[in-house]
Amino acid sequence: MKYGFRRTMAWAHGWAGLVVGWLLFAVFLTGTLSFYRQEITAWMRPEWRPGPAIERSLAADRAEARLKTIGRQANRWLIDLPDGRDRAAHLAVWRDPGQAPRFQREEFDPAADRPVDARRTYGGDFLYYFHFDLQMPSIWGRLLVGLAAVIMLALIVSGIVVHVRIFKDFFTFRPQKGGQRAWLDAHNAVGVMALPFHLMITYTGLVTLMFLYLPWGIDLAYRGDRAAFYAEAALAQSPPAPTGKAVPLVPLGPLVATAEAHWGLPAGRIDVYRPGDAAAVVRIHAADSSGLAHRRHQIAFDGTTGAILAVEDGRPAGIVRAVMYGLHLGRFAGPTLRLLYVVAGLAGTAMIATGLVLWLVKRRPRRQRLIEGLNVGAMAGLVIAIAAFFWANRLIPAERAGRDDLEAVVFFATWAVAAVHGACRPHLRAWTEQLGFAALLYGGLPVLNAATSGRHLGHSVAQGDWMLAGFDLAGLAIGLFLGWLSLRVARCSR
Amino acid sequence: MKALDIASRVGAAVVGGYALATAAALGATALPGTRAEAVQIGIMLGFLAYAAAMIWAFAARSAIRAWAGLIGPAAVLALIGWIGAS
């Protein structure tokens, strides 16, 4: 500690970055892919061709009819209405303790007025959930990711402190100098290029789970009654006590139309509490895609008469929170801005990756076998595992029971094998081989799609089906990039 | 740096930092306005306090100062929250 502030920060930046780098790489990569969650899901269910978009109020009526069949004795129904990117409605049902099942969900095709008829897969949701809960039981994954995110914030700040000539160096890239200088230039370039994004996405990520991470203020202000806080902040409601008196639920379609006319915005989510009971309440939220703030606007209706009970548009602090949340999800983004989100997310992923490599390069010629192995396994191994997940999706028979979980098993098993391979092979060989293998897997995705779905690239481009074509083309582009990377590493190791 | 010093600073960054974040969230409940608003402001500031605490834990001249610099403000903020609530 005798070298002053900047030296200390450099030291802490290096070690803290090493400790959380592998986890952050996984969070950034899978999180970035989650901006295309719906597109990934669409590719992973090629047999489902959604019908034409229909009126949201009609979709709501059909979802309501479906829930009356599958959701008896419920204390709450949830309907997520279709939007431009996801033509399925997502239905969920909760029941009181003692009733079975306590929770059930279904994907519903409102245009066809029947459940989505496709293979069982987690689709893009798998990567989305992995990026914050790591598929760990209970809340452990979320806590781990949260701690890593706070460290990431501190890493970004310390990185700025360490990086003296932040503006001048931005225009500096000296790959020909090789070694440490080149890796540092790369780390700085991708770090600074999207610096506001890195800060935003890390901080807003914490905000999405803020009531899990720091609930103690709620406990103090509400004397431990968290449900009261959620209700007061219009974040979540507890179902009202049932009266036991059966009264038919008001048709949802007209309520959707009323809410949309009130806001001038599309509706996105319908919450129905105590459907079919005299105490029923319907809450309609504006769509996530309709604005920056996530679930800011909501209207509560009496579930038996359709009368408006409350109109909630948020208060300042709640709106700030909602905007942070919305910024993180990026659901307001159109195609161009969405692509920008992904490019910035990939820059963040590359910043973490180059940082991890730089840690090793700095310590040359001393070898760090453990870190070398972990670098390959955590980074190239994950890239391979994601591709293997896509391959499993098409190679596991569509009718096989439990196939969705099997896809997840393939993901983790492939990752484990890659990690062992990365630890056993000579370091640069391991990189070359894994990047090369990954290049084949990604580059082969359009071929796999053509062979297993009949909706090949020529077909989807001709049809203007850019959701499917985009996935295939992205696979090709990623394959080419990884192949180039593999050849570069191979040249270094010679 | 000595191992014990580093371990102590890591503890200050992770545990002391969380204590400061918690205290910020508690202290903010004494803010004027509705309690639902105050609670949300407190948590959002708490994360910033946590990240700042992590920087401080390694920037402070000694591990003792690192801890003191976190526990002191945390105690004050928690006290403010406690007085505000009672």
Tens digit of each residue's pLDDT (9 = 90 or more) over A57-84: 999 999 999 999 999 999 999 999 999 8
Q: Strand pairing of A76-80 and A267-273?
A: antiparallel
Percentage of chain A exceeding pLDDT 90:
81
Q: In what order do the strands lie in the sheet with A76-80?
A: A114-115, A103-109, A89-94, A76-80, A267-273, A281-286, A298-302, A308-312
Contact A67, A275 (CB under 8 A): yes
pLDDT for the residue numbered A167? 66
CA A281 to chain B, closest CA, distance in angstroms equals 22
Closest CA to A314 of A322, A325, A306: A322
Q: Which amino acid type is present at position A409?
A: V
Q: What is the DSSP letter of A105?
A: E
Please report which helix (H) or strand (E) contains residue A8, including its range: helix A5-33
Beta carbons of B25 and A217 less than 8 Å apart: yes
Q: Is A423 exposed, middle or buried (0-12, 13-18, 19+ CB in 10 A)?
A: middle
- Residue pair A25/A379 in contact by the 8 Å Cβ criterion: yes
Q: How far is CA A300 from CA A65, A239, A244, A271, B21, in A?
A: 20, 13, 21, 9, 35
* Structure confidence at residue A2 (pLDDT): 45
As a whole number of angstroms, the distance between CA A422 and CA A323 comes to 41
**CB proximity under 8 Å: B 14-53 to A:** 14, 17, 21-22, 25-26, 28-29, 33-44, 46-48, 50-52
CB pair distance less than 8 Å for B26 and A216: yes
Q: What is the DSSP letter of A273?
A: E
pLDDT tens-digit map of B22-71: 999 999 999 998 999 999 999 999 999 999 999 999 999 999 999 999 99
Mean pLDDT for the stretch of residues A356-367:
89
- Torsion angle in degrees (nearest 10) through CA of A22, A24, A27, A30: -60
Confidence label for A181 from pLDDT (cuts 50, 70 and 90): confident
The answer to whether the Cβ–Cβ distance between A154 and B59 falls below 8 Å is: no
- Map residue A283 onto helix, strand or coil: strand
Cis peptide before A101 (omega within 30 of 0): yes
Q: Do B44 and A321 touch (CB under 8 A)?
A: yes
Task: Name the token pair of A397.
Answer: 């028979």
- The confidence score (pLDDT) of residue A3 equals 55
Are the CB atoms for B71 and B57 separated by under 8 Å? no
Q: Is the pLDDT of residue A407 over 70?
A: yes
The pLDDT, as a whole number, for residue A145 is: 97
Cβ pair B72, B64 in contact under 8 A: no
Question: What's the pLDDT tens digit per position in A371-392?
Answer: 999 999 999 999 999 999 999 9
Contact across the interface for B51 and A317, Cβ inside 8 Å: no
Is residue A156 a contact partner of residue A200, using CB atoms and an 8 Å limit? no
State whether residue B2 is helix, strand or coil: coil
